[in-house]
Structure 1
Amino acid sequence: MRIFLKPSHICTLIKLSQAIDRVTDVIGSSGIWLVILLIAIGFYNVVARYIGRAIGIRLSSNTLIELQWYLFSLMFFLGFAYILKSGANVRVDILYTRWSEKRRALIDFLGTVFFLIPFCVLGIWVSINPVLQSWGLLPDGTWGSWELSSDADGLPRAPIKTTIIVAFATLLAQGVSQAIKYLAILKGYTQVAQTIQEDAEQLPLE
């Protein structure tokens, strides 16, 4: 597979990939705080339910329960790009591990360009209208009220639905970054392959 790019172009693309990776790392590290907050709210909901039952007072609410669901969703939505960067996604590697570095890069490049990136673009495209409707966009083009939870004291649905687009967008950006890395390997930049391996070793799979 011949891809004609000047070394200066490759270096520019690698810098873009590194910038995307830094953003992904920041987003991925925020997942730690989401987990801590999720555990804290979940713990409170459980304790408040039993204590409230014992004393006859409602100490929790649907707001906190739905917030727990939202945080759980955010952990996945914001983790997609970080998982891709770290190579923690599940892959069938019976043949993959036996291939040469450039052959693996070629397969990953083709899979990213022809499957992952179009999938992310499609995901964003089909999510736009439902998200806008959730924010209150009416069929006549005017704006109404936000979509709210059907439960009493529930949270608005629009913000959490918006994170679906954010998830696809960050995954798309990281997909572009990964494609650049694979392309760099195909062009002989072996140090990029070492960077990918180091990222993968950060999240070892048992």
Structure 2
Amino acid sequence: MNGLLKFSQGVDALNAWVGRWLSWLVLLMVLISAGNAIVRKVFSNSSNAFLEIQWYLFAAIFLLASAYTLLRNEHVKIDVVLGRFPRRTQVKVEIFGLLVFLLPFVVYVSALSWPEVHKAFVSGEVSENAGGLIRWPVYALLPVGMALLGLQGLSEVVKRLAFLAGRAPDPSARQQAKTAEEELAEAIRKQSGSAA
């Protein structure tokens, strides 16, 4: 069990790191969007590449952050029925859901998406829009995001099994007392403090 818990900690650290860096993509996407709007309105000029990079960044945020969201236990849950059961029963149902629904979904989507990534890479597929971008990087976000989500799903299974065995705390308990916004502000302060 110790080896599995170390694996789980490693996956958690990886997805926490990815999640922190993805928060910067939100800022980048907003800056590109604002810059594109200003150039379009002031100079009556624009590029499809600027529009497409916004879509690519949004896809990266959405697909790559799904594992981070699972790590933080932030996915939408409707526990009307499950919330009435003892915590150990809830954890067993969560393990069932992860093993029977999440992980097969990840494998299925990954199996379907890799051939499309390969085909787009080999063919050098480019957007049909004038000035459009190459497509394979955005296609690759899907299997990469699924890989991160699958790893986090396995990590969540390990943490729940360890909880049932009395070897770990409840993985669904809130780990942080701060909101995501407060954590982001703190991370920015730390980075700006270390850069000085």
With the length of structure 2 as denominator, give the TM-score of the two structures.
0.86
Three-state SS of the structure 1 residue aligned to 2:175 is helix
Separation in 2, partners of 1:133, 1:70: 18
Structure 1 residues 50-61: aligned runs within 5 Å: 50-53=41-44, 58=45, 60-61=46-47
Q: Match of 1:47, SS? A: helix
TM-score, with structure 1 as normaliser: 0.82
In the alignment, structure 1 residue 199 sits paired with structure 2 residue 190: no
SS at 1:192's partner residue? Answer: coil
The equivalent of 1:128 in structure 2 is: 114
Mapped contact 1:86–1:203 kept (Cα < 8 A)? no
Runs of 4+ aligned residues of structure 1 deviating over 3 Å after TM superposition are 199-204
Partner of 1:78: 64
For the 8 Å contact 1:86–1:202, the answer to whether it is kept is no
Letter aligned with residue 52 of structure 2:
E
2:156 aligned partner: 178
Residue 99 (structure 1) aligned with residue 85 (structure 2): yes
Aligned runs of 1:9-20 on 2, under 5 Å?
10-20=1-11
Q: Percent identity?
A: 32
In structure 2, do the counterparts of structure 1 residues 203 and 96 end up closer, same or farther at CA, with 3 Å as the change threshold?
Answer: farther
Question: What residue number does 1:149 align with?
Answer: 127
2:125 is the alignment partner of 1:160: no
**SS state of the match for residue 124, structure 2?**
coil
Q: Contact between 2:59 and 2:141, CA under 8 Å: does it hold in 1?
A: no
Q: 20, 23, 28: which one pairs with 1:37?
A: 28
How many angstroms apart in 2 are the aligned matches of 1:201 and 1:19? 22
Unmatched runs of 5 consecutive residues or more in structure 2: 181-196
Q: Does 1:108 align with 2:99?
A: no
Instruction: List per-residue Cα deviations over 1:97-137 (Å, max 9, x = no partner).
Output: 2322211110001110111111101111111111111112x
Inter-CA distance 103–200: structure 2 relative to 1 (3 Å threshold) = farther
**CA radius of gyration, larger in:** 1
Q: How many residues align?
A: 180
Structure 1 contact 31–75 (Cα < 8 Å) conserved: yes
